[in-house]
Structure 1
Amino acid sequence: MSAIQYEKNADGIVILTMDSPNQSANTMNADFQKALNETVEKLKADAGITGIIFRSAKKTFFAGGDLDDLIQARPEDAKEFFDVVQLMKKELRYIETLGVPVVAALNGTALGGGWEIALGCHARIALNDPKSKFGLPEVTLGLLPGGGGIVRMVRLLGLQNAFPFLMEGKQFGVDKAKSLGLIHDTADSIDELMEKSIAWVKANPKSQQPFDVKGYKIPGGDPKTPAVAQILAIAPAMLRDKTKGCYPAPEAIMAAAVEGAQVDVDTALTIESRYFTYLATGQVAKNMIGTFWHGLNAIKAGASRPKDVAKWQATKVGILGAGMMGAGIAYSTATKGIAVVLKDVSVENAEKGKAYSQKLLDKKVSQGRMTAEKRDQVLNLITATANAEDLKGCDLIIEAVFENQELKAKVTQEAEAFLADGGVFASNTSTLPITGLAKASKDDRNFIGLHFFSPVDKMPLVEIIKGQNTSAETLAKAYDYVQQIGKTPIVVNDSRGFFTSRVFGTFVNEGLRLLAEGVHPARIEMAALKAGMPVGPLAIQDEVALTLSEHVTNETRKALQAEGKDLPHSPSEDVLKTMIHEFGRKGKAAGAGFYDYPEGGKKHLWDGLSHWKKDVDISEQEMIDRILFVQSLDTLRCYEENVLESVVDANIGSIFGIGFAPWTGGAIQFLNQYGLDKALARANELEAKYGERFKAPQLLKDKVASGKID
């Protein structure tokens, strides 16, 4: 069966129904390319065509490019890849310029290549569906819209208005598309959608694209227009400040948009294809597609979830501790329609935790993103209490109290008595081993770790930690709950610091070590940003609180000593000790840390950090390598030690939990894309220079021959 069914009605209107065989959604795969070629040949041979309508037989209009195909494109395939892209665009352009009206009947979402097909039509009529999304999200996968999206969006909206949709991948719904003039009409049913599409064809027999009309001017002006030229003079510098040079896609999009706006449409399409080929055959797109598309989809499909356990839904969730973490978990749970009991030592504390949800919901109402009625419904789902009996009937209880084993044991035993039969008890600890905490439980098979990240309402990841005796049913229920509240779960085995806290610690410590070595703090922070980390190690240490890091280090050392082991001393500990105990600087919450936080002003590095200043000769690239390698090598150790069970969980967890450079595709993919032989050589160099933390795990040595850690 062809991916495009060709049908001509009695009025001479050709209806092209897109229906990719063996797929739930239409994509620009080899089947579609072949079908498009055959369709154009039929159109050329068909006399008396009065119009063309694109429609879909799927639930959505069109999903976009085939990422399985795109990830295979290598630099040596560039010419062939470019030719295939150009041919497809030539065929779509033929339809666009045939001289008859062309309509896209949008029955649902059209993203990426799907939106590009729609843009190639003279009119777009959409089904009135609040779930429909349109746009060009390619930049989020390290690509650019290569099917004419840049060229047409710029010509329809103007450079300045098109940039957010192109360079940030902003998606929009039907109403926004109408306000932008990109959707021309809407329909309330599929039948009405087709009726309106046919009526539009009949009403516009001589239709063409507005930008193909002689004398058409790009809204807002082309790059030579003084107002636009003024913006473009500073735009590349502003963009580089945001990307730090790690992401070639936004820069290629800007270049293709600006260059394309100065030439005719067909030349602009060729320029766009060249930049698209450059990105698609490059490594960054492969890293990002592998993790943000294939990896995330694998997790959504339950890659680390026990397969033989029935799907489960939490109906009533108890949360112990109404501090920042507990309050955030309560909000994230209640907004998904789940009843929450938020318990603290006093009703006042519990109400304070509930007020956090009130504040976030009020903000949504004030922005028009939620009705007051919906806000009240969510708030009514949260019961603030100091009475443990209110936990009765909870099928999941999560403790989110201070990182103290005795305290956690006490609240576990108090609350567990009220847990429903078959319920799950979880700890939100970020460092304490789950097997040890589970000893306080009456049944450690039902005990698990659910490590949320702060702020919970914004952070997408939850690290699920299996204790030694955690059952498959408990793991499956925890996984289902995390997905139920719209978060991304990764699964790890029990260990001190698990995966994310342990590896996150290596990043912060490396920054503190660099400071102790005498490197200027501003250079340290900039090296981290240029590596692709979202914030520098000194800034993030301030957020975490220096006192908390000191506490965790001390507790870890004590626990290890009790096991007859030791935690080697690090120069980073001396830095923390000096900051806290000599200078009285404890972090952002205390108003002073590595940064000063002037009231109403912008934070800036504290002058007193000159205490560590020495004349040290280290290149920026050396610092970048230290920052990335110290994390990726420890991630690989976690995999080698079976703390991590999959590369997917390692890559997703490192980006969404630690903030590891997204352009790399994750901490293990960083080593893969670096080249394992080169990564091993670099690790050996760093170990010789800086010590054992850069020692290459045996797994890296073992995988050099195959060239990939999987």
Structure 2
Amino acid sequence: MNGFDYQKDAENIVTISMDLPGQPVNTINKAFIDGLEATLQRLERDEVAGVILTSGKDSFLAGGDLKEISALSADTLPAFAATLQRLKSCLRRLETLDKPVVAAINSTALGGGYELCLACHHRIALRDDKSRIGLPEVSLGLLPGGGGIVRLVRLLGLEKALPLLMEGTRLSPDRALEAGLIEELAADRETLLSRARAWIRDNPSPRQPWDEKGYRIPGGTPAHPKVAQMLMAAPAMLRKKTRGLLPAPEAILAAASEGALVDFAAAQRIESSYFLQLVLTPEAKNQIRFFFQLNGITGGSSRPEGFAKTSVNRLGILGAGMMGAGIAYVAAKVGIEVVLLDRTRQQAEKGKAYSAQVLDRQLSKGRITREQKDDLLERIQPTTEMNDFAGCDLLIEAVFEDRELKGRLTGEAEKNLAEGAFVASNTSTLPITELAQAVRRPENFIGLHFFSPVDKMPLVEIICGQKTSPQTLAKAFDFVQQLRKTPIVVNDSLGFFTSRVFSTFLDEGAALLEEGVDPLLIDNLARLAGMPVGPLTVMDEVSQQLLVKVRKANRELLQERGEVLEENATDRVLAVLTGSHGREGKAYNGGFYDYPREGRKTIWAELYTLFRKPEVEISRRDIQDRILFRQALEAVRCLEEGVLRSVADGNVGSIFGIGFPAHTGGQLQFINSCGLQRFVARARQLEQLYGERFAPPALLLEKAANHELFI
């Protein structure tokens, strides 16, 4: 009745199956702790030979109740701290039960779920590629607060535990075994339980390593010279990575290193102290809200209802360049047969060779076998013949941003597809409604905007044209999830959501340069604000040549509609670089930076002659606010115009697709976190100082006046 099914067999081995009623997953909340306490009391008074902890649900055990944690305030924190201490006391009682306790991990065990496993004497996991094991609390702006830091450091040592804790690594069971997070793997549930029983029989009186007399932390404490040297360098390396914007990794480093110097009980108190500091930070609240929004999207909140789930078996790709080759790899990786077409056999084979290169790197690290590499490559068929698309249930066009070329090739390829197939364009800016005119059934046409490099970027932006049917959207959504990527759904416009907002990031960098700001300061302050790289570096990576072509194509498109694409700072700056000086990007002869064959890139010195104005003084705060506010304001306009269908799509898309700082929770949550009235006031200051592009949109003013958030 308390969610802990208690079954004792003839050998006095108790199997406890966690199955909290009314919850889709087991979560650590008051009901869980009440049930665990009651179960411990029974175990302590019963005649028991050993204990097996497993789950009656599809997952083993999730972490703490994030809704409760996100709602915490200074007033409610003391009561929460008492609950946390109850949990820690329960886990300590479990591992000092004086009977063998085995975690039979039947599925995913993350966060608090794995902390429970750490309080067991032995851990066996079901071998399942979909399962994940680890302590990912850092991705929520938190740290493991149920003893996870204390126990993992004592199990693995600081050198091995810290990367897992500070990066929040979620490991497959096979990799968890390699890392030492578990001790055994089982092929099926029956074997899982039988091995747990066997271990109990062979180990009637186990103790945790840290409870053994004479125990020492593997690798040594911070007092050991080698560990001390590592910890001396760690803060600087961490600050370089987080730029001081993420308090959780720093708290983890402190809790782990300080806890390694004291006894187990004191280490537990240190861990709790840091955890309770983090739960009230805006970073934690932002990242937890992002987690809920991401879960909603992956759970299908943007997918039309009423359509059966589908999968793609055979995929056709038009264009074997960088994007087409990347899409081919991620599709073949999940078992899809791929037909990869380009103009020449050599180009098509080159596209397939990209997959071979990715696989060779994995093979060298022991991540895959030679057979797995060969099997994947066998699924990619390079070709120059359109009729090879026969039987494909999806065609993705991934050629240059040229409307005529896209339309001609797509129309020709469509004739060869299977009945009921749908067609997608990987365009990053061109309107889907207009591209759909090239196919016979525009209701079956949709945009699938992948991000480069495709094998690493987790997002796909799905764009619905005016005639795209709900069924096609459902199919596209299912396909993106089949690739194990995150889909956001937006409506059609020039640049959609991600490219449109991303262009404001680039343009603000160009505007700052044009105004006379030091180019190195622009890029460095953008990174210190939390962007992965600066806007000038991004333009070099993308290539000025491509940016000029995209702006030219967009200008021509609007002219056909009788509209005008106004010149911006990007146009003017790139005209100087490409027109007068032939600087077309990193892949050519350099752009804002020079790229020597050996050594690091250096700023192109001529930039200072062309643009730098020493008399110009713009504060560092203004530069960083301009970079972040410009993007956030454009995201509001996208929501206001109906390009964005939801706040969640905007926040997830901005972090996964654009690289907006993770600690903000996304561009729209960034506004929430600032406070809408304060954000509006600051935007108006920027508008007065730097121009109307910082004017608050009507939707933002309305929400600020009504004290509403973007939710």
TM > 0.5 fold call: yes
Give the Cα–Cα distance (whole angstroms) in 2 for the partners of residues 504 and 638 of structure 1: 12
What does residue 62 of structure 1 align with? 61
What does residue 504 of structure 1 align with? 502
Identity of matched residues, %: 54
Tell me the SS of whatever aligns to 1:28.
coil
Give the Cα–Cα distance (whole angstroms) in 2 for the partners of residues 565 and 34 of structure 1: 65
**1:614 aligned onto 2:600:** no
Shift of 1:691: 1.0
- Which moved further from structure 2: 24-33 or 668-677? 24-33
Q: 1:420 aligns with which of 418, 421, 424?
A: 418
Q: What is the one-letter code of the residue matched to 1:644?
A: L
What does residue 169 of structure 1 align with? 168
Q: What is the one-letter code of the residue matched to 2:165?
A: L
Map residues 101-500 of structure 1 onto 2, 5 A cutoff.
101-129=100-128, 131-291=130-290, 293-500=291-498
Shift of 1:272: 0.8
CA-to-aligned-CA distance 1:662-692 (integer Å, 9 cap, x gap): 1111111111111111111111111111111
Give the Cα–Cα distance (whole angstroms) in 2 for the partners of residues 425 and 183 of structure 1: 45
Contact kept, 8 Å, 2:402 with 2:553, in 1: the verdict is: no
Tell me the SS of whatever aligns to 1:455.
coil
Contact kept, 8 Å, 1:139 with 1:167, in 2: the verdict is: yes
Give the Cα–Cα distance (whole angstroms) in 1 for the partners of residues 470 and 646 of structure 2: 17
- Which moved further from structure 2: 424-433 or 89-98? 89-98
Contact kept, 8 Å, 2:141 with 2:248, in 1: the verdict is: yes
CA-to-aligned-CA distance 1:226-273 (integer Å, 9 cap, x gap): 222222112111100000111111001001111111111111111111
Map residues 638-677 of structure 1 onto 2, 5 A cutoff.
638-677=638-677
What does residue 88 of structure 1 align with? 87
What does residue 590 of structure 1 align with? 588
Contact kept, 8 Å, 2:246 with 2:663, in 1: the verdict is: yes
Contact kept, 8 Å, 2:545 with 2:584, in 1: the verdict is: yes
CA-to-aligned-CA distance 1:606-661 (integer Å, 9 cap, x gap): 22221222223222222221111100110110010001111111111111111111
**1:532 aligned onto 2:533:** no
- Which moved further from structure 2: 413-422 or 115-124? 413-422
- Which moved further from structure 2: 124-133 or 667-676? 124-133
Q: What is the one-letter code of the residue matched to 1:409?
A: G
Tell me the SS of whatever aligns to 1:333.
helix
- Which moved further from structure 2: 146-155 or 104-113? 104-113
Query: Is the alpha carbon distance of 1:11 and 1:378 closer, same or farther for their aligned partners in structure 2, counting shifts above 3 Å?
Result: closer
Q: Please give the TM-score of this superposition, normalised by the length of structure 1.
A: 0.95
Give the Cα–Cα distance (whole angstroms) in 2 for the partners of residues 66 and 322 of structure 1: 46
Q: What is the one-letter code of the residue matched to 1:583?
A: H
Give the Cα–Cα distance (whole angstroms) in 1 for the partners of residues 99 and 692 of structure 2: 70
Q: Please give the TM-score of this superposition, normalised by the length of structure 2.
A: 0.95
Give the Cα–Cα distance (whole angstroms) in 1 for the partners of residues 566 and 305 of structure 2: 41
What does residue 707 of structure 2 align with? 706
Tell me the SS of whatever aligns to 1:613.
coil
Tell me the SS of whatever aligns to 2:52.
strand
Q: What is the one-letter code of the residue matched to 1:318?
A: G
Give the Cα–Cα distance (whole angstroms) in 2 for the partners of residues 686 and 541 of structure 1: 24
Give the Cα–Cα distance (whole angstroms) in 2 for the partners of residues 192 and 322 of structure 1: 46
Give the Cα–Cα distance (whole angstroms) in 2 for the partners of residues 163 and 470 of structure 1: 48
Give the Cα–Cα distance (whole angstroms) in 1 for the partners of residues 191 and 414 of structure 2: 56
What does residue 629 of structure 1 align with? 629
Give the Cα–Cα distance (whole angstroms) in 1 for the partners of residues 683 and 106 of structure 2: 53
Give the Cα–Cα distance (whole angstroms) in 1 for the partners of residues 603 and 685 of structure 2: 31
Map residues 679-698 of structure 1 onto 2, 5 A cutoff.
679-698=679-698
Shift of 1:526: 1.6
Shift of 1:367: 2.9
What does residue 22 of structure 1 align with? 22
Give the Cα–Cα distance (whole angstroms) in 2 for the partners of residues 698 and 26 of structure 1: 43
Give the Cα–Cα distance (whole angstroms) in 1 for the partners of residues 473 and 130 of structure 2: 31
CA-to-aligned-CA distance 1:377-405 (integer Å, 9 cap, x gap): 32232222222222233222221121112
- Which moved further from structure 2: 341-350 or 463-472? 341-350
Query: Is the alpha carbon distance of 1:77 and 1:320 closer, same or farther for their aligned partners in structure 2, counting shifts above 3 Å?
Result: same
What does residue 599 of structure 1 align with? 597
Query: Is the alpha carbon distance of 1:52 and 1:589 closer, same or farther for their aligned partners in structure 2, counting shifts above 3 Å?
Result: same
Query: Is the alpha carbon distance of 1:9 and 1:423 closer, same or farther for their aligned partners in structure 2, counting shifts above 3 Å?
Result: closer
Shift of 1:500: 0.8
Query: Is the alpha carbon distance of 1:52 and 1:449 closer, same or farther for their aligned partners in structure 2, counting shifts above 3 Å?
Result: closer
Tell me the SS of whatever aligns to 2:570.
helix
- Which moved further from structure 2: 676-685 or 304-313? 304-313
- Which moved further from structure 2: 391-400 or 232-241? 391-400
Contact kept, 8 Å, 2:150 with 2:267, in 1: the verdict is: yes
Tell me the SS of whatever aligns to 2:75.
helix
Query: Is the alpha carbon distance of 1:320 and 1:107 closer, same or farther for their aligned partners in structure 2, counting shifts above 3 Å?
Result: closer
Query: Is the alpha carbon distance of 1:57 and 1:478 closer, same or farther for their aligned partners in structure 2, counting shifts above 3 Å?
Result: closer
Q: What is the one-letter code of the residue matched to 1:83?
A: A
**1:568 aligned onto 2:569:** no
CA-to-aligned-CA distance 1:415-442 (integer Å, 9 cap, x gap): 2222333221221111111112222222
Query: Is the alpha carbon distance of 1:521 and 1:493 closer, same or farther for their aligned partners in structure 2, counting shifts above 3 Å?
Result: same
Q: What is the one-letter code of the residue matched to 1:207?
A: P
Query: Is the alpha carbon distance of 1:183 and 1:525 closer, same or farther for their aligned partners in structure 2, counting shifts above 3 Å?
Result: same
Tell me the SS of whatever aligns to 2:395.
strand
Q: What is the one-letter code of the residue matched to 1:26?
A: N
Tell me the SS of whatever aligns to 1:498.
coil
- Which moved further from structure 2: 604-613 or 494-503? 604-613
Q: What is the one-letter code of the residue matched to 2:372?
A: K
Q: What is the one-letter code of the residue matched to 2:29?
A: N
Q: What is the one-letter code of the residue matched to 1:709?
A: F
- Which moved further from structure 2: 280-289 or 188-197? 188-197
Contact kept, 8 Å, 2:16 with 2:52, in 1: the verdict is: yes
RMSD: 2.1
What does residue 3 of structure 1 align with? 3
Tell me the SS of whatever aligns to 1:451.
strand
In structure 1, stretches of 5+ residues that fail to align are none
Q: What is the one-letter code of the residue matched to 2:411?
A: Q
Contact kept, 8 Å, 1:677 with 1:707, in 2: the verdict is: no
Give the Cα–Cα distance (whole angstroms) in 2 for the partners of residues 195 and 555 of structure 1: 65
- Which moved further from structure 2: 475-484 or 641-650? 475-484
Query: Is the alpha carbon distance of 1:50 and 1:600 closer, same or farther for their aligned partners in structure 2, counting shifts above 3 Å?
Result: same
Q: What is the one-letter code of the residue matched to 2:683?
A: A
- Which moved further from structure 2: 173-182 or 109-118? 173-182
Shift of 1:476: 1.6
Q: What is the one-letter code of the residue matched to 1:111?
A: L
- Which moved further from structure 2: 488-497 or 403-412? 403-412
- Which moved further from structure 2: 264-273 or 336-345? 336-345
Shift of 1:510: 0.7
Query: Is the alpha carbon distance of 1:398 and 1:55 closer, same or farther for their aligned partners in structure 2, counting shifts above 3 Å?
Result: closer
